[in-house]
Amino acid sequence: MLATFVAVAGSDYAVSLDEMLQAAAEVKAQGHVTAHRDTAEISTSPKAKKQPLPELHHVVGVPLAKAMRPTEKIRLGDKQELICASCHGLEKIDETPIEQVDKQATNFLLGGPYETLTDFCYRCHSEKTNQRPNIHNMVDEQGKIREQHCTYCHEKPLKRDQVYSAAELKLRVPREVICYGCHLKTTHLNALQHQVKPSKEKLQQLKDAEKKLGISLPLSDDGKVMCVTCHSPHPNGVLKPDLAAAKQVANQDLKTGISYEQHPWGAVYTEDKQQRLQALEHQTGHLQALEYQRIKTEVLLRLPAKDGSLCLACHTFTDRQ
């Protein structure tokens, strides 16, 4: 997927975190590196049963690459290889069943908690070579449009005050899949499940919401929900504000982007959903956050999700008073 996009856009994108983890898992599966726990002998009890590593886990038992310049001293094994304690601060993590590992503990990842997982990765991997430019950052500090960003997706820059039909957008990749080069289909819970044709009632509700709020919630050519039904690809300031396609949440802070905060209900939620989310993880191969968090800041959404407005454009939640 990434390769497809690189080919069309001619950019030299570094991989995303998900892709990195996927790559790590593939490497592991091919057996190029040992990912066995035997290589990570931090346990003192010979009888303790080693647990299997979670799927898509980072490689273990490999030496720290020469080019790596860790920001701090890293604990390594006898053969200078990665052990559990190189990354985790929890004792006997290798003997603890995965579901009992406290991922909320501050030292679950050494030196944590981290604002984003990539901050942790950069302890060893170079931030410079692994970062990818945020393509949605289309307006510079002076408010000028970065036209070179438009042509990642559009064959040529469009007029910012004009409404275009789907065909006139001259997108390099169809609207339905244009986000996949850089984001996963399963980028978040429900992203993929939403890509269906709305029922007649939902469609009517959607059309009413568009009209009432003066917004655009575009569906695919065959009438299905897409990523860009909920998300605007452009930040504020690109399209002329009175266009329906320009309407979105007000936040300009693309650097922080969509962020979350912990909530006291977290513990209850985790307990309640643990089993179902684990089943889902087995099914999809993706780890889903076992937490209840609240959205703190949001960007690139056509309506706020924080207060439910986005969802209410298509859904009627009858269990709410």
Name the closest residue to ligand HEC (Cβ): 257
Instruction: Choose between 171 and 321: whose C-beta lies nearer to ligand HEC.
Output: 171
Q: Is 215 in the site for ligand HEC (CB under 6 A)?
A: no
**Positions in 27-66 near ligand HEC (CB under 6 A):** 27, 33, 37, 40, 53-54, 57-60, 62, 64-65
Closest distance to ligand HEC from the beta carbon of 104 (Å) = 10
**Positions in 221-250 near ligand HEC (CB under 6 A):** 225, 227-234, 238-239, 243, 245
The pattern of x and - marking residues 256 through 295 that bind ligand HEC according to CB under 6 A reads: -xx----------------------------x-------x
Query: For ligand HEC, which residue of 41, 43, 89, 145 counts as binding (CB under 6 A)?
Result: 145
Query: For ligand HEC, which residue of 14, 43, 111, 125 counts as binding (CB under 6 A)?
Result: 125
Closest distance to ligand HEC from the beta carbon of 224 (Å) = 8
Q: Is 24 in the site for ligand HEC (CB under 6 A)?
A: yes
Contact 314, 208 (CB under 8 A): no
Q: Is 25 in the site for ligand HEC (CB under 6 A)?
A: no
Q: Is 213 in the site for ligand HEC (CB under 6 A)?
A: no
Closest distance to ligand HEC from the beta carbon of 254 (Å) = 7
- Only one of the segments 214-222, 261-269, 271-279 lies at the binding site for ligand HEC (rule: CB under 6 A); that segment is 214-222
Q: Is 138 in the site for ligand HEC (CB under 6 A)?
A: yes
What's the CA gap between 215 and 69, in Å, rounded? 48
Instruction: Choose between 221 and 268: whose C-beta lies nearer to ligand HEC.
Output: 221
- Only one of the segments 152-160, 261-269, 272-280 lies at the binding site for ligand HEC (rule: CB under 6 A); that segment is 152-160
